[in-house]
Chain A
């Protein structure tokens, strides 16, 4: 009886939040001219959320420290880009190399292109997982990092110019038709990964992470299970890359450096290793705060801040520290503080649920009443 009540409460709350999110998105979409900045932040956050959840799947849930995310995103971005740019613009984009004739007239809708990116990344992950997943911890990280750089080098290679346009990259990729398209695709990806994590496969992933000896004794095939996690994780990283290419309307190898992998790792760690909701929160927080702190990158004179100083000698001086790049200094300091004092991430390894919210507020209430009782 009570359980049922809690369940309906949770369902109602979820629907309310969902409705609010959709309403907000609709509001942004309806006023897309004024709110284009907010739209870019939301879209970028959603895309990074997919990448972060996919990375969390292999690092946080399966315990395999793979850093190949940027490489798979690069593959996904190029595949999606090449297949979706309008046919009539291709000669112009590939003016140097000339697009390969067999590819020239292949034009696919975004959804199909993303599925092909997914499949290709899954296939490549399957092949490289074969030798690579026998490695452990640091060695696996180095191998995947190496793979990621190889991918970048291959896509930037002149010899592949007719396909990838080499170092010029692919541009003029058609943008999302609306914010809903982007958010919906991201939501579907995250839901699929969430379902996988809560299935019996997910249980096997966590078992390997916690204790591979026991997991093997339970009859879990270590290699095959790791391979499954790696393939799915990489494939969704590919989709995230494809979405990023559409978002930026171009795919260039310089986007997919190791720094991108670290950025996503940051979201995973900050949000909470082993928590899907944590990764989503981490993605929004990191993307958002990098934007909010942008005022630190601007140079100011004292007179800009305090109007009555205008004309004085002091007013003509620059505010110290504020200049291009200072934003990242502050951002890094904030990060260190978070990691030092909150080292399990924002959510820890648990999911954010309504029950947890309820327990949190109930705990507060209880504390309050206890304090009042003391008085």
Chain B
């Protein structure tokens, strides 16, 4: 279980995240939805140690993660799929996957086959440079690369960003599949509709605070969520 409590993040004088608390139970899919600048990405970046939190606590199965270096956090089997994919464009698909397993010293073959099983298209393009892949394929590669670290918890920052609806559907199917294979998922999305549909539990973030929470379906039915994020009030 990943527990975040009273997390505060400051950028200069601006408070981006104002003391939020939430939990991601093991084996579940949880999502943080909200508009631009709500502090969702900052939260994920603080959990992985990419930005420093001012105060609060992030515990993975009781172990405090805050204040540790990113490499240590990744070693504790929690990885981030960064926003905007960030694949290594000049390297092949296979090389990208191998970098994902940079901290592992054991044999990678099994993990590579697992990723290729989830994303057959990556297998076809194994020797292609990542920069030549389509947006959807790059997103798959970014997810596959994060899986190479063999994580217990995978955090995804806006996996649907800039992708065609059909590709988004494909990505979300894979997220569900990864979850069924035993990986806990923390999903950050602006595409609230998709995210709430697959989430076991969801939190709505506004201006650095969590303003609502509930199961995915509860929030889908909530009139305020509908008005603000789903745009379905008129119908």
Contact = CB atoms under 8 A, between A and B. Distances in A.
B46 to A, nearest CB: 13
Given A204-B99, A213-B86, A220 B71 contact: yes
Interface string B91-132: 100010011101100000000000000000000000000000
A220 B102 contact: yes
Most buried by B among A206, A214, A220: A214
B102 A349 contact: no
Nearest to A219: B74
Contact of A200 (B86, B102, B149): B102
Contacts of B71: 219-221
Contacts of A203: 91, 95, 98-99, 102
Given A206-B88, A210-B91, A349-B90, A217 B80 contact: yes
A115 interface: no
B50 A211 contact: no
Contacts of A211: 86-89
Interface in B48-80: 48, 50, 69-71, 73-75, 79-80
Interface string A283-325: 0000000000000000000000000000000000000000000
Contacts of B136: none
A246 B80 CA distance: 51
Contact of B50 (A206, A210, A217, A349): A217
Interface residues of A, number: 18
B82 interface: yes
Given A203-B98, A204-B102, A213-B82, A218 B149 contact: yes
A274 B75 CA distance: 30
A218 B79 CA distance: 7
A267 interface: no
A214 B82 contact: yes
A217 B75 CA distance: 11
Given A206-B88, A210-B89, A210-B91, A217 B70 contact: yes
Most buried by B among A200, A218, A274: A218
B40 interface: no
Interface of B: 48, 50, 69-71, 73-75, 79-80, 82, 86-91, 95, 98-100, 102-103, 142, 145, 149
Interface of A: 200, 203-204, 206-207, 210-211, 213-221, 274, 349
Given A203-B102, A210-B90, A218-B103, 5 more contacts: A200-B98, A206-B91, A219-B70, A219-B103, A220-B102
